[in-house]
Amino acid sequence: MVAVVNYLYPPAQFRHTHLQTHYKRTADMTHILILNGPNLNLLGTRQPETYGTITLSDIESMCAREAGQLGVTFEFEQSNHEGALIDHIHDTKAQGIILNAGAYTHTSIAIMDALSSVNKPVLELHLSNVYQREDFRQHSYISKVAFAMICGLGASGYPIAMRAMSEHLAL
Ligand code: DQA
């Protein structure tokens, strides 16, 4: 069973009931993939001393608000499976990818290769400050292919990452 959260959020001013209009309006807009890896579906109850009590769905709502302010659309996905994360990276129509790969950050050459293969800007994101934690968290395969990395800001890192990606794509 693959747990996937997947929503497309057009900002409020572009929300239309007529689907065709919606797609026409969003076609020109910056579109961002926000991809979350293993165990992040458990945010809220998972090690609150490290990750806080905010849930992934709360974070998604924060991203929706930020998308409205930035005038971008986004997909918000989570999977506990390496292959499913790679499929999202291959299949997305987004121009940029914000990735919290969870523990795969420290192990997955396959995810790093997938990111290199699609040739899109990647922003690496972590809730916790991985550099204050165990040694095995201090190496990241994602950093090798990311233009930036944000960690230690908790849930606030997500909207900040969206703003950074949106500005990066506008350069
Ligand atoms: C994490 C940090 C990773 O080391 C860890 O395995 C996670 C969460 C973070 O957001 O702080 O699952 O990516």
Q: Of the candidates 87, 128, 73, which has an alpha carbon nearest to the alpha carbon of residue 105?
A: 128
Predicted confidence at residue 27, as pLDDT, reads 61
Region 113-120 average pLDDT: 97
Amino acid symbol at 104: Y
Of the pLDDT bands very low, low, confident and very high (cuts 50, 70, 90), residue 171 is confident
Annotated catalytic residue 7: no
Which domains are delineated in the chain?
1-14+30-86+96-152 (3.40.50.9100)
Of the pLDDT bands very low, low, confident and very high (cuts 50, 70, 90), residue 2 is very low
Among 99, 127, 132, 149, the mutation site with the greatest number of ligand 1 atoms within 8 A of its Cβ is: 127
Say how far apart CA 33 and CA 100 lie, in whole Å: 11
Say how far apart CA 87 and CA 84 lie, in whole Å: 5
Region 49-66 average pLDDT: 97
> Given a cut of 50, is residue 116 above it in pLDDT?
yes
Q: Indicate whether residue 103 lines ligand 1 (CB < 6 A).
A: yes
Region 64-72 average pLDDT: 98
pLDDT digits 0-9 by tens, 7-32: 454 444 444 333 333 334 456 799 99
Q: Decide which of 119 and 25 is more confident.
A: 119
CA-nearest residue, atom 13 of ligand 1:
102
> Given a cut of 50, is residue 112 above it in pLDDT?
yes
Cβ atoms of 63 and 76 closer than 8 Å: yes
Say how far apart CA 139 and CA 82 lie, in whole Å: 18
Q: Decide which of 131 and 21 is more confident.
A: 131
Residue that the structure tokens 């499929």 belong to: 87
Residue 162 CB contacts under 8 Å (≥ 6 apart), including other chains: 32, 34, 63, 66, 67, 70, 72, 74, 98
